[in-house]
Amino acid sequence: MENSKSFLSSAEKTLCRAFILFGLLALGWTFHKAPQRAWANLLIDNFYFLSLSLSAAVFVSALYLTKAGWATAFRRIPEAITSYLPYGIAIATVSIFAGIKSLYFWTTPQGSQLPGVVAKAIFLNWKAFVSVSLASFALWLFFVRKLISNSRLQDEERDIARTLKNRGVAAAYVVTFALSYSLIAIYWIMSLEPLWYSTLYPWFVFAGMFVNGFASTILLLLWLQKKNYYQDIGAAHYHDIGKLLFAFSIFWVYLWFSQYMLIWYENIPEEVTHFTLRSIGHWAYVFWPNVIMNWLLPFLILLSVAGKKNPKTLFLAAAISAIGHWTDLYLLIMPPLEKTGPVYGLPELLIFGGFIALFVLVFENAFRQAKPYPVGDPLLKESLALHE
């Protein structure tokens, strides 16, 4: 159970730092050549990992709220994922203050004169944008820190009191998160198209990011098992977390289709713009593969019990989902800025690679600070004895 040494070799750490450096260079080059593309990439990648850390906290909260024991053995993985939160918030704060004018058309003098923007001015103004963002940051940090510190303190205290406290924290976090994340999804992403709106939108963004939470937890779990951690976690645990990945990828496509079909059927000019931009012309080459990656492939792979229990197929489905949800965000954020077609190249790859490397280093550091098993949790025994 001793866990102070790193699971990354020094060569792997150097590789991560090299990737961060390449990412920074690519970001700098893009800022020099096309600042808007650089801000968009920063928004996509940072939102991806920020949402990942928030989703991991939602997953941990859900385990507390449902009194679930099956995942307690590897709960330290989603807990360590949340450690990206302060970094995500720092990067987001910089991007909001410095990048708002280049990303959001409604903040420019011409954009703010549009009748559709004037009508929504009480909501769609930069003061509200900034204050909602900062308030959400503060609330997220407060609740997530409380959740994680309670869990870690329990290792020493071995007292059920921390579990009971965390049930309260989890309930408060889930409600706060639902409200604040909805507003963030509307402000940061939906307002890229200020005249278009959909009531389903925040929910849809959340569904995608929550699937990614499960996919990334699976990927990290399988990776840590390769590094000799969690040798007592097996098919029963794979089966359970595989079911969640399977179920929420269906939930994602359910919301995707609910939004798409209504707008396609009504065919009202001001609503249909969102989809004509993405499904007609060059963006269609991203639009349809997006659905295949995020739903069809994981659905077919995970449909049978064997698909969920086998670590190879589970890895495949999780990896496809994780890449798929980057594509999903790319498709939500890029098209209004690049109307003619997808811009994709080295900058996108290198900046995302840099973010992955940063996330891995942050995750490794947080994972090292706590024991790999929550040894004080009363549900740990049940979790380790899990069978079909």
Partner 1 sequence: MPNKNLVGIFDSDEKMLHAAQKAKDLGLSASDAYTPFPIHGIDEILELKPSILPKVCFFGGATGLLTAFTLQYWVHAVYWPMNIGGKSFTAYPAMVPICFELTVLFAGVSTFFAFLFLRGMHPFKTSPFWGLQTENNKFALVFDLESESKAEKVSSLLNQEGALEIREIIE
Number of residues that bind partner 1 (CB under 8 A): 12
The nearest distance, CB 236 to partner 1, in angstroms, is 8
CA-to-CA separations, 305 to 71, 210, 314, in angstroms, rounded = 18, 22, 11
CA-to-CA separations, 288 to 41, 291, 308, in angstroms, rounded = 21, 5, 25
Q: Among the candidate windows 14-22, 23-31, 263-271, 315-323, which touches partner 1 by CB under 8 A?
A: 263-271
> Under the criterion CB under 8 A, does residue 226 sit at the interface with partner 1?
no
What SS3 class is residue 233?
coil
What's the rounded Cα separation, in Å, for the pair 207 and 223?
Answer: 24
Choice between 257 and 344, CB closer to partner 1: 257
Q: Among the candidate windows 32-40, 73-81, 93-101, 264-272, which touches partner 1 by CB under 8 A?
A: 264-272
The distance from CA 95 to its chain's CA centroid, rounded to whole angstroms, is 18
Q: From the list 49, 140, 260, 367, which residue makes contact with partner 1 (rule: CB under 8 A)?
A: 260
Collect all residues with Cβ–Cβ distance below 8 Å to 366 and sequence separation of at least 6. 79, 80, 82, 83
The nearest distance, CB 303 to partner 1, in angstroms, is 8
The nearest distance, CB 388 to partner 1, in angstroms, is 6
Burial class (CB in 10 A: 0-12, 13-18, 19+), 14: exposed
Tell me, residue by residue from 299 to 338, as one string, x for binding to partner 1 by CB under 8 A and - for no binding: ----xxx---------------------------------
Q: Tokens 């995500």 correspond to what residue? A: 88
> Under the criterion CB under 8 A, does residue 109 sit at the interface with partner 1?
no
- Total residues belonging to the chain: 388
Tell me, residue by residue from 267 to 306, as one string, x for binding to partner 1 by CB under 8 A and - for no binding: x-----------------------------------xxx-
> Under the criterion CB under 8 A, does residue 261 sit at the interface with partner 1?
yes
Collect all residues with Cβ–Cβ distance below 8 Å to 385 and sequence separation of at least 6. none
> Under the criterion CB under 8 A, does residue 67 sit at the interface with partner 1?
no
Site residues, partner 1 (CB under 8 A): 257, 260-261, 264-265, 267, 303-305, 386-388
